[in-house]
Structure 1
């Protein structure tokens, strides 16, 4: 089964401004969050889940068919 990932505009802008290492780490977090469906918040609500890497974080909400990335950060 495939899932959808939606990046909010400010997330896309943030990713575009990160160095290659930061972008790669954030994308790895997104991929890890996508496949860990048991860690998703309840679909369709306003609940946000977070996932942390060594130097980055993501915040996301869930839908039935995937996740919406609502925030990212990287400490460079």
Structure 2
């Protein structure tokens, strides 16, 4: 199954301004969210979830076909 990842405008801007190693880690954190459906919030609601990478985090909501990334950060 193919999942959709939608990035909020502030997320796209933050990724564009990040150094390459930070951008890579955040994208790997988003990929980890996609393969771990068990950590997704309940589908169809307004619940969100926070997922941490080694030095990054993403806030997202889930739908039946993917996730919307609402915010992210990297401390590198």
Q: Tell me which residue corresponds to 2:38.
A: 38
How far residue 46 of structure 1 moved from its aligned partner, in angstroms, is: 1.4
Using the alignment, how far apart are the partners of 2:43 and 2:11 within structure 1?
20
Runs of 4+ that moved beyond 4 A: none
Question: Runs of 5+ in structure 2 lacking a partner?
Answer: none
TM-score using structure 2 length: 0.95
Q: Tell me which residue corresponds to 1:18.
A: 18
Using the alignment, how far apart are the partners of 1:55 and 1:42 within structure 2?
26
How many residues are paired up?
76
RMSD: 0.8
Give the stretch that moved more between structures: 37-46 or 9-18: 37-46
TM-score using structure 1 length: 0.95
